[in-house]
Amino acid sequence: MNIKKILVISYSQSGQLYNIVDKLTKPFENDNNVQITYKVIKPKKPYPFPWDFMTFMDCFPESIYLDSPQIEDIKDDTNDYDLVIITYQVWFLSPSLPITAFLKSKYAKNKLKNKPVITLIGCRNMWVMAQEKMKELLKNIDAKLIDNIVLIDQGSSLATFITTPRWMLTGKTNSLFGIFPKAGISKEDIKNVSRFSYAIKDALNKNKEKNFRSICYGLKAVNVDMKLIKSEQFATKSFMIWGSLIRKIGSYGDKKRKPLVMLYVLFLVLIILTVVPINMIIQIILRKINKEKVLKEKKLYEEPSGNDDYRMKEYSKYE
C-alpha cells in the first residue's frame, strides 16, 4: 500500500482545538502507512486571548464578511495529500478569521484542489451558518468536502451563553456557582473523537477517500439543533447590516468604530431581552406545524456526514 498523506490544519487560542487534533491523530502515531503533516495558522497580528470586550465585538464585521487578516506564510511542501483535515472554531457565525485567511491563501488554492476534505468544528453551539460559508470557501478552491464533525461546548444553550463568553473574556473555564458547567467541550466528547480516527484509518486502508463520499458516516458526527437555526439566520442578517455600516467608518481596530460598535451591543441587548423570547415562542409553534420541512432542513445541514449512529458500536470500542 502507498503511504497515505494527511494534512491537518489548525488554529486555536485556548489550545482546545489542538487537544482535539491530538486525540484525532494519536491512533496514526505508530501507523507506518500514514504520514501526517501539521500546519498551524498564525495571524501576523495575533488576536488577543483572553479578549477585552471591545476588541471581541470589534471583529464581528470582518468575521461576517470573511475579510481575513494577513497570516504568516505557510511553509510550502512537495506533498500530494490524500486527505485534508481542517479544524476550526466559529467566530460570529463564520469560520474564524485565521482559518478564513488560510482558505484564501495561495497554499490552500494549490494544495486543496480536488482533495477530499474533512472539517472538524469546535465551538459553542452555533456553527451551521459558518459551515455553509466553509462550503463556499472550499468550493471556491475546488476542494471536496466529504465529512463534517462537530463538537460543541458542554451545557445547555442558556448555560453556554454565560460560560463561553466568560471563558473568552477572562480565560476562566471553571464551573460557576455549582450551576454552570465548566466552559468548553467536555473531556468525554474529546475522548470520543477517536471513533473518527479509526473510521478514517479503515477508509484509507480501502482507498475510500478517493470516492469523495463520507467516511465518518454512522458515527453521529453532527447534530443540528433546529431551535438555533432561525436565530443564526436572524443574527447573520443583523451582523451583515451593522457590519457593513461599521466597515464604512474604518477597519478592525480603528478607534472611530467604537461608538457604533457599542451602539450595536446596546441594540443586541435590547433584541435579546425583547424580540428573542417572543420569537422563541413563535418558532416552537412553527416547528410543530412544519415538522416535515424542519426535518428535511435538518438533514440538509447535517450533510455530508449525517446524524446516524449505526456504526457507533463498531468504533466506540477504541479509545
Q: Which stretch binds ligand FMN (CB under 6 A): 7-15, 207-215, 219-227, 286-294?
A: 7-15
Q: Which stretch binds ligand FMN (CB under 6 A): 109-117, 120-128, 174-182, 310-318?
A: 120-128
In this chain, which of 25, 68, 125, 163 binds ligand FMN, going by CB under 6 A? 125
Q: Does 305 bind ligand FMN (CB under 6 A)?
A: no
In this chain, which of 6, 9, 17, 141 binds ligand FMN, going by CB under 6 A? 17
Q: Does 126 bind ligand FMN (CB under 6 A)?
A: yes
Q: How many residues bind ligand FMN (CB under 6 A)?
A: 20
Written as nine digits, the cell of 115 is 482533495
Name the minimum Å distance from CB 60 to ligand FMN. Answer: 7
Q: For residues 82 and 87, which CB has a smaller minimum distance to ligand FMN in the complex?
A: 87
Q: For residues 161 and 318, which CB has a smaller minimum distance to ligand FMN in the complex?
A: 161
Q: For residues 131 and 194, which CB has a smaller minimum distance to ligand FMN in the complex?
A: 131
Q: Does 90 bind ligand FMN (CB under 6 A)?
A: yes
Q: Does 127 bind ligand FMN (CB under 6 A)?
A: yes
In this chain, which of 7, 74, 93, 151 binds ligand FMN, going by CB under 6 A? 93
Name the minimum Å distance from CB 252 to ligand FMN. Answer: 11
Residue 246: what are its φ and ψ, rounded to 5°? -65, -40
In this chain, which of 123, 193, 199, 229 binds ligand FMN, going by CB under 6 A? 123
Q: Which of residues 42-81 bind ligand FMN (CB under 6 A)?
A: 56, 59
Q: Which pairing describes strands 4-10 and 144-152: parallel, antiparallel, or unpaired?
A: unpaired
- Taking alpha carbons only, the member of 194, 235, 140 closest to residue 21 is 194
Name the minimum Å distance from CB 19 to ligand FMN. Answer: 9
If you write DSSP's letter for every residue of the chain in order, what string do you get?
A: -PPEEEEEEE--SSSHHHHHHHHHHGGGTT-TTEEEEEEE--BSSPPPSSPPHHHHHHTHHHHHTT-PPPBPPPPP-----SEEEEEE-EETTEE-HHHHHHHTSHHHHHHSTT-EEEEEEEESS--HHHHHHHHHHHHHTT-EEEEEEEEE-SS-HHHHHHHHHHHHHH---S-BTTTBPPSSS-HHHHHTTHHHHHHHHHHHHTTGGGGTS-SSTTS------HHHHHHHHHHHHHHHHHHHHHHHH--TT-GGGHHHHHHHHHHHHHHHHTHHHHHHHHHHHHHHHTHHHHHHHHHHHTTTT-S--TTHHHHHT--
- Taking alpha carbons only, the member of 149, 82, 141 closest to residue 122 is 149
Name the minimum Å distance from CB 201 to ligand FMN. Answer: 25
Q: Does 13 bind ligand FMN (CB under 6 A)?
A: yes
Name the minimum Å distance from CB 124 to ligand FMN. Answer: 3
Q: Which stretch binds ligand FMN (CB under 6 A): 32-40, 84-92, 246-254, 292-300?
A: 84-92
Residue numbers of the site for ligand FMN (CB under 6 A)?
Answer: 12-14, 16-17, 56, 59, 89-93, 122-127, 164, 168
